């Protein structure tokens, strides 16, 4: 079966996998689970990675193997996966082992979905790459990579907790496995496991970095919550939210790789700077894609953020340039989340009028450039090249 | 004003403080906030400590100072407070400092309530007492005590997350400050802060103990969730839940005090054993009091656990001894949580028939004895005496 591009691939996947669970069975496989086709209770936990998968440009042959699409296409991410495949296998084994709980059978029940659903493990890959490119030849980077993935997964689980106030709009009804309480408690378990793992490295500096990242992540999430319905939210606050909820873990994932390898301080700083900028870029791209990207091509998931009243960069920019009529519109639809048919289309018109999707794209590209430039102090190596290309690849989703 | 006993005091407090917030302004003050009088959004986060306050036997003069009842009565807990008052002031200062967040204003908003509502800080007190009785004269025990309190508070916040399925029954509507999402994220922030604090001590062993405790707490909570509506739940599983959700932190709180003081291993073991048994006893007492204690005196909060379908020891014992009619009753009321008027009364009758409240009391007393005996390897000291009396005091609520 030949599928020429991402949209066609998704359409095909949607048709094939309607209401089924899709697992990634091996590395190098793509998952096309969308909110609509992933089945009840399956959505959300992997939404971040989902979007990443969705947006891959697939130009090579895809074949349907046991309900899973396999791609033979190799981008920078796959090249990283190839170089680090032994390390990543060790990370996956460690994750499986440490996710289990003899005492509470529900924990493996819930986490099994997360493990099998996989995700590209972008964050642990950063840790592995950073450690290896700084010449590390021990085993602790595997523990740290698993730690980073546990923190990420716990965050996704907690992000999935909803209130009764209608925020569940547009989302599938949670089933027993996925109720609020389970999400919170299993997330807590993963947080605890992540700390157990990082403690095993015996490096207080690494512990410090990851504990600080955890605090910044929580602060970012809380800030997002308070900013959520305030249409006065500035680009500066948006950046602070993004730094917290996304970039902090990217930065820490890179930094601890360098630290565990005993890299010189300027290289550790470089890795941290790379992770931070890559994370910011990654999140801006994600937020832009939610409105169909700079081309504002309308897809079936377009406008999820709008419906949820999330103040992301394209909207923030449109509000700041809007006249009083437009601000009234934003105050109603985002501020009070009183929405009706046609509002999303009107919102997209306003963004087009002020060209905020293009402006958002410029920001994303600029952060990807910061990421690439941050790598300068690191000695040349194939891994450095892969990381450089990865920064380009992240924004290739919108170019 | 003279109030002869606890019930009269509570009645007076209920009348006085109807729908107001009550803060503990200084150590040695009692808080009488009940579910009914504490005001919206105030309940639940401090329910554990609440019950503890409620059950103090107050036989001394009480005076109303600026809306707060002050007791001149001194029990073992107050004696501990007196001996450790400087340390505890330092803990309170540290908690206030570390709870703040420049980046996310909502965090201090939410945590301010927790700080001011106070609580008796039983767990940090155990850490301080353990460290001091083992001859510690540094400052790290203050950090560890604050760590323990942060973990406890985060657990309470996460315990407060509810689902849409009607579990909110009997609880006040959460206001904006206290919605699910805020509870989760602010709890995460406190967890992260707790790890930052413990890392500052630089003791990997202490980190290991507290990270393990965090994992066991989460496992206990998840186990409770799965056991919640399964009327086949055994006393063994109940004990496992209690060990997780309550005793693990008591045990760790005591153990890290000994470890930071560099106490010999047998003394560290003794402290851990004391904390574990004290925690189990504490929780059994709490569960028994929910049915009015061994005397099954009906109070206004009697039966909260029953209404929430929680399988606690008095019910587990009644089910295991029940005939098929009784099991049908329990399957309906607890298993399916289909309750009607008169069910609680009938449940209490069944517990009275099988004398399970008395049997539960025996268990609590027995665990308190285990706690007291655990202290044997520790050298005699006033603090040891206070801890011994504290174990007795915990069960004095039901004797």
Q: How far is CA B307 from the centre of its chain?
A: 20
The pLDDT, as a whole number, for residue B75 is 80
Segment 291-330 of chain B within 8 Å of chain A by CB: none
Which of A252-256, B65-69, B229-233 is least confident?
B65-69
Q: Which residue of chain A is at minimal alpha-carbon distance from B218?
A: A189
The per-residue b/e assignment along B163-192, b for 16 or more CB within 10 angstroms, e otherwise, is beeebeeeebebeeebbbbbbbbbbbbbbb
Q: Is the model more confident about A293 or about B234?
A: B234
Top residue of B161, B206, B243 to mutate, by most chain A CBs within 10 Å, is B161
Q: What is the mean pLDDT of residues A130-152?
A: 96
Q: What is the mean pLDDT of residues A166-170?
A: 39
Domain limits, chain B:
73-396
Angle at B243 between CA B256 and CA B218, to 5 degrees: 80
Which of A5-14, A67-76, A150-159, B204-213 is least confident?
A5-14
Give the C-alpha distances (Å, rounded to integers) separating A373 from A135, A370, B132, B145. 21, 5, 53, 44
Query: Does A181 contact B163 at a Cβ distance shorter than 8 Å?
Result: yes
Q: In terms of Cα–Cα distance, which of B353, B354, B306, B357 is closest to B332?
A: B306
DSSP state of A63: E
Segment 107-136 of chain A within 8 Å of chain B by CB: 107
B146 vs B128: CA distance, rounded Å: 10
Beta-strand relationship, A68-71 and B62-65: unpaired
Query: Does B104 contact A193 at a Cβ distance shorter than 8 Å?
Result: no
pTM: 0.80
Helix (H, G, I), strand (E, B) or coil at B120: coil
A135, burial (CB in 10 Å: exposed 0-12, middle 13-18, buried 19+): exposed
The pLDDT, as a whole number, for residue A212 is 96
Is 90 exceeded by the pLDDT of residue A314?
A: yes
Share of chain B above pLDDT 90, in %: 54
Predicted ipTM > 0.90: no
DSSP B293-328: TTTT---TTTTHHHHTT---HHHHHHHHH--HHHHH
Token look-up 């206001």 returns B175
pLDDT band, very low/low/confident/very high, at B398 (cuts 50, 70, 90):
confident
Orientation of helix B343-353 relative to helix B356-374, angle to 10°: 70
What is the token pair recorded at A352? 């087009």
Q: Which residues from chain B sit within 8 angstroms of residue A192, using beta carbons?
A: 211-212, 214-215, 217-218
How far A197 CA lies from chain B's nearest CA (Å)?
A: 9
DSSP A232-249: T--HHHHHHHHIIIIIHH
Top residue of B177, B206, B211 to mutate, by most chain A CBs within 10 Å, is B211
A351 vs A336: CA distance, rounded Å: 19
Q: Which residues from chain B sit within 8 angstroms of residue A188, using beta carbons?
A: 158, 191, 214, 217-218, 221
Asked if residue A48 lies in contact with residue A304, where contact means CB atoms within 8 angstroms, the answer is: no
How far A20 CA lies from chain B's nearest CA (Å)?
A: 25
A270, burial (CB in 10 Å: exposed 0-12, middle 13-18, buried 19+): buried
Asked if residue A6 lies in contact with residue A54, where contact means CB atoms within 8 angstroms, the answer is: yes
Beta-strand relationship, B68-71 and A68-71: unpaired
Asked if residue B83 lies in contact with residue B386, where contact means CB atoms within 8 angstroms, the answer is: yes
DSSP bridge pairs for A63: A70
Nearest to B219 among A101, A216, A220 (CB): A101
Segment 162-221 of chain B within 8 Å of chain A by CB: 162-165, 168, 174, 179-182, 184-189, 191-193, 195-196, 199, 202, 204, 207-208, 211-212, 214-221
- B68 membership: H or E segment, kind and range: strand B68-71
Angle at A320 between CA A316 and CA A325, to 5 degrees: 110
B271 vs B254: CA distance, rounded Å: 5
Asked if residue A392 lies in contact with residue A356, where contact means CB atoms within 8 angstroms, the answer is: no
Segment 222-241 of chain A within 8 Å of chain B by CB: 222-223, 225-226, 240
Tell me which CATH homologous superfamily contains domain A73-396.
Farnesyl Diphosphate Synthase (1.10.600.10)
A207 vs B97: CA distance, rounded Å: 21
Q: Which residues from chain A sit within 8 angstroms of residue B225, using beta carbons?
A: 106, 181-182, 185
Query: Does A199 contact B207 at a Cβ distance shorter than 8 Å?
Result: yes
Q: Which residues from chain B sit within 8 angstroms of residue A178, using beta carbons?
A: none
Asked if residue A296 lies in contact with residue A351, where contact means CB atoms within 8 angstroms, the answer is: yes
Q: Which residue of chain B is at minimal alpha-carbon distance from A207?
A: B199
Asked if residue B237 lies in contact with residue B183, where contact means CB atoms within 8 angstroms, the answer is: no
What is the token pair recorded at B10? 């509570």
Q: In terms of Cα–Cα distance, which of B95, B86, B77 is closest to B149?
A: B95
Give the tens place of pLDDT for each residue, A75-91: 888 888 889 999 999 99
Give the tens place of pLDDT for each residue, A282-305: 999 999 999 987 765 666 667 888
Which of A338-347, B107-116, B210-219, B372-381 is least confident?
B107-116
Q: Which residues from chain A sit within 8 angstroms of residue B199, using beta carbons?
A: 204, 207-208, 211
Average pLDDT across chain A, whole number: 78
Top residue of B172, B181, B221 to mutate, by most chain A CBs within 10 Å, is B181
């Amino acid at each position: 079966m030949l599928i020429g591009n991402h949209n066609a691939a998704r359409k095909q996947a949607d048709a094939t996998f309607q209401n089924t669970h899709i697992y990634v069975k091996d590395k190098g496989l793509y998952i096309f689970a969308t909110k609509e086709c992933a089945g009840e209770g399956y959505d959300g936990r992997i939404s971040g990675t989902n979007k990443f998968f969705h947006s891959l440009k697939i130009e090579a042959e895809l074949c349907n193997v046991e309900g899973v699409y396999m791609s033979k296409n190799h981008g920078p991410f796959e090249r990283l996966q190839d170089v680090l495949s032994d390390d990543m296998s060790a990370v996956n084994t460690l994750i499986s082992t440490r996710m289990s709980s003899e005492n509470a059978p529900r924990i493996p029940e819930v986490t099994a979905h997360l493990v099998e659903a996989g995700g590209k493990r972008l964050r642990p890959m950063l840790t592995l790459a950073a450690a290896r490119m700084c010449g590390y030849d021990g085993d602790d980077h595997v523990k740290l990579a698993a730690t980073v993935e546990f923190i990420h997964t716990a965050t996704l689980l907690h992000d999935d907790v909803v209130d009764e106030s209608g925020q569940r709009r547009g989302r599938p009804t949670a089933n027993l496995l996925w109720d609020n309480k389970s999400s919170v408690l299993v997330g807590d378990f993963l947080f605890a496991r992540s700390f157990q793992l990082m403690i095993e490295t015996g490096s207080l500096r690494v512990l410090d970095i990851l504990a600080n990242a955890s605090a910044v992540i929580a602060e970012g999430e809380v800030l997002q919550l308070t900013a959520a319905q305030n249409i006065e939210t500035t680009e500066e606050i948006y950046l602070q939210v993004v730094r917290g909820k996304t970039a902090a873990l990217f930065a820490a994932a890179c930094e601890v790789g360098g630290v565990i390898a005993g890299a010189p301080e300027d290289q550790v700083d470089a890795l941290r700077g790379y992770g931070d900028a890559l994370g910011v870029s990654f999140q801006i791209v994600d937020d832009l894609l939610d409105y169909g990207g700079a081309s504002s091509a309308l897809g079936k998931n377009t406008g999820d953020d709008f419906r949820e009243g999330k103040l992301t960069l394209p909207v923030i920019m449109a509000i700041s340039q809007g006249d009083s009529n437009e601000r009234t519109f934003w105050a109603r639809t985002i501020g009070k989340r009183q929405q009706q048919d046609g509002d999303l289309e009107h919102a997209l018109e306003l963004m087009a009028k002020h060209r905020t999707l293009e402006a958002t794209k410029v920001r994303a590209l600029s952060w990807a450039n910061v990421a690439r430039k941050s790598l300068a102090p690191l000695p040349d190596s194939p891994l450095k090249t892969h990381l450089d290309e990865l920064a380009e690849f992240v924004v290739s989703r919108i170019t």
